Amino acid sequence: MFYARRPVPVALGTLALAAGLTLMSGPTAQAAPPTPVSAATARTYLSELTVKAEGSSDGYSRDLFPHWITQSGTCNTREVVLKRDGTNVVTDSNCAATSGSWYSAYDGATWTAASDLDIDHIVPLSEAWKSGANAWTTSKRQGFANDLTRPQLIAVTDNVNQAKGDQDPATWMPSRTAYACTYLRMWVQVKHYYALTVDSAEKSAIQSGLSGC
Q: What is the mean pLDDT of each run of 10 residues along the chain (213 residues)?
A: 40 34 36 93 98 96 96 96 97 96 97 98 98 98 98 98 98 98 98 98 98 94
In this structure, is the dihedral angle defined by the CA atoms of residues 142, 145, 146 and 151, taken in order, positive or negative? Answer: positive
Peptide bond before residue 136 is cis, with ω within 30 degrees of 0: no
pTM score: 0.86
Which residue type does 39 have? A
- Separation CA 33–CA 31 (nearest Å): 7
- Separation CA 4–CA 23 (nearest Å): 11
Question: With 0-12 CB in 10 A as exposed, 13-18 as middle and 19+ as buried, what is 68?
Answer: middle
Q: Quote the pLDDT of residue 31.
A: 73
Q: Quote the pLDDT of residue 162.
A: 97
Nearest to 111 by CA among 22, 14, 12: 22
- Separation CA 22–CA 27 (nearest Å): 14
Q: What is the pLDDT of residues 92-150, one digit of tens each?
A: 999 999 999 999 999 999 999 999 999 999 999 999 999 999 999 999 999 999 999 99
Q: Quote the pLDDT of residue 190.
A: 98
Q: Quote the pLDDT of residue 20.
A: 33
Q: Quote the pLDDT of residue 30.
A: 56
Question: With 0-12 CB in 10 A as exposed, 13-18 as middle and 19+ as buried, what is 166?
Answer: middle
Q: Quote the pLDDT of residue 28.
A: 40
Q: Quote the pLDDT of residue 32.
A: 85
- Separation CA 201–CA 151 (nearest Å): 23
- Separation CA 175–CA 208 (nearest Å): 17
